[in-house]
Amino acid sequence: MSPPVVRFAPSPTGYLHVGNARIALANFLFARRHGGRFLLRLDDTDTARGKPEFADAIAQDLGWLGLAWDDSFHQSARLDRYAAAAERLKRAGRLYPCFESEEELRAKREQRLRRHQPPVYDRAMLKLTPAQRAAAEANGKRPYWRFLLSNATVEWTDLVLGPRAVKLPAVSDPVLIRADGTPLYTFTSVVDDIDTGITHVIRGEDHVTNTGIQRDIFAALGADPAAIGFAHLPLLTDSDGGKLSKRLDSLTLRSLRADGVEPQAITSYLARLGTSADPEPLDLAALAASFDLGAFSHSAARFDARQMLALNRRVLHAAPFAAMAERLPPGATEAFWHAVRGNLDLLNEARGWWDVAAGAITPPVIEGERDYLRAARDLLPPEPWDGEVWQAWTTALKSATGRKGRALFLPLRLALTGEEHGPELRELLPLIGRDRAARRLEIAAA
């Protein structure tokens, strides 16, 4: 296969969520797997909803994931190109003016439904005479423009879903140009894909009907739709099989990043979500080497945040101190990181353990353990402490009190950390130090 050219084309109307990220990642990995190019296109012709700050956020979030693009552009900079393509379709009789209002169109749809007919646009405006059009414009109406679809069934072999067909007579002629002259995505996307030499379009399954329409527009503009491969990934559901869309606001890359989820956990999970391969923490190069569109199931994929967090734990547990140092609390050492990383689900949890290791926490009073905890305080070895101090201390305590197992260790953990579970105290105790340990044992024994 010759090197492919693919694109990720978000609209800057909000923050990227995991559904967007999955599509961006699929395009990126496909391009890298086959030595191709990955383009970022900002579909920003909708000036009413699009905002520059969202465009900036999209670029930042993709960069955070590591999805470097080879080129980028904004559709708002190409309005003259869309206007030229629209004129070409008008001259060919494939783009025709319409004047019906939303109320008129709604009434037509309702009437067709009452007659048990599909609610497809009736093409009434094709019968408009030049005089009628002139009269409408003289009355202050401005036309919007519909594309005259072919009377055909568009067929292709989808790279994910297999054979697919869209019966164009069952689809309403799409509006390509609004009354204010703004071009719509269905149209601008085709023009851009032709001009930038896109070889593969990888997007969500909700675009299957759009693909049938757009292949017709490709042909009307003189391009060969068969020269482009289409791949539609089934949409994501939640862990119960319901629509994920209701939860996407809480699954933006911004929110996941703020929660402490690592980018590698997200990309490793999304790259194999919907395939039979088990996700494992891999870098982008390794993910690209094994990426295969044909491996995706035809069924919807279930997004399970618990699985992603399990991957996040694995990423953190293997992360070297150098990779995390700048994101840890000020003063945190390599010894601290090695002590706590195996107990972190999210990186921001390190803040609490730094308070335990180097801060001033107040442990709970442990009922019924006063004598034991004071004995533990009195038997604390003198400093300096190293990795053997925990073993020496607890051995002395066991000999002095006769305790063992949970009765020996749990009161110490609660007094020293305020938690029943956590990092190995063998590694944590030298970081806490003798003075802090003695104070906490005294408080817990009160």
Q: Does the pLDDT at position 259 exceed 90?
A: no
Q: Are the CB atoms for 445 and 373 separated by under 8 Å?
A: yes
From the options 3.90.800.10, 2.60.40.1930, 3.30.230.10, 3.90.45.10, give the CATH code of 81-153+161-177. 3.90.800.10
Q: What is the pLDDT of residue 238?
A: 84
Radius of gyration of the chain (CA): 31
Tens of pLDDT, residues 364-412: 999 999 999 999 999 999 999 999 999 999 999 999 999 999 999 999 9
pLDDT tens digits, one per residue of 56-65: 999 999 999 9
31 pLDDT exceeds 70? yes
* Single-letter residue type at 51: K
Task: State if pTM tops 0.85.
Answer: yes
Which CATH architecture group holds 335-445? Orthogonal Bundle (1.10)
Name residue, tokens 């071009």. Answer: 183
**Is 259 strand, coil or helix?**
helix
pLDDT higher than threshold 80 for residue 217 = yes
Q: Distance between the two ends of the chain, CA-based, in angstroms? A: 74
Lowest average pLDDT, out of 42-56, 72-86, 169-183, 273-287, goes to 42-56
Task: State the DSSP code for 176.
Answer: E
- The DSSP annotation for 102-169 comes to HHHHHHHHHHHHHTT-------GGGG--HHHHHHHHHTT---EEEE---SSEEEEEETTTEEEEEEGG
Q: Where are the domains of the chain?
A: 81-153+161-177, 335-445
- For CA atoms 377, 381, 384, 386, give the dihedral sign: negative
Predicted pLDDT of residue 250: 66
101-160 pLDDT tens trace? 999 999 999 998 998 888 999 999 999 999 999 999 999 899 999 999 999 999 999 999
The per-residue DSSP string of 284-316 comes to: HHHHHHT--GGGS-SSPEEP-HHHHHHHHHHHH
Residue 236 · residue 273 · CB < 8 Å:
yes
**Going by C-beta distance under 8 Å and a sequence separation of 6 or more, which residues neighbour residue 8?**
23, 24, 27, 28, 38, 39, 40, 41, 62, 67, 69
Work out the average pLDDT over 27-40: 98
Token readout for 113 is 């439904």
Sign of the CA dihedral with 167 first, then 172, 178, and 184 last: negative
Alpha-carbon separation of residue 227 from 7, 190, 209, 219 (angstroms): 16, 13, 18, 11
Q: Is the pLDDT of residue 246 over 60?
A: no
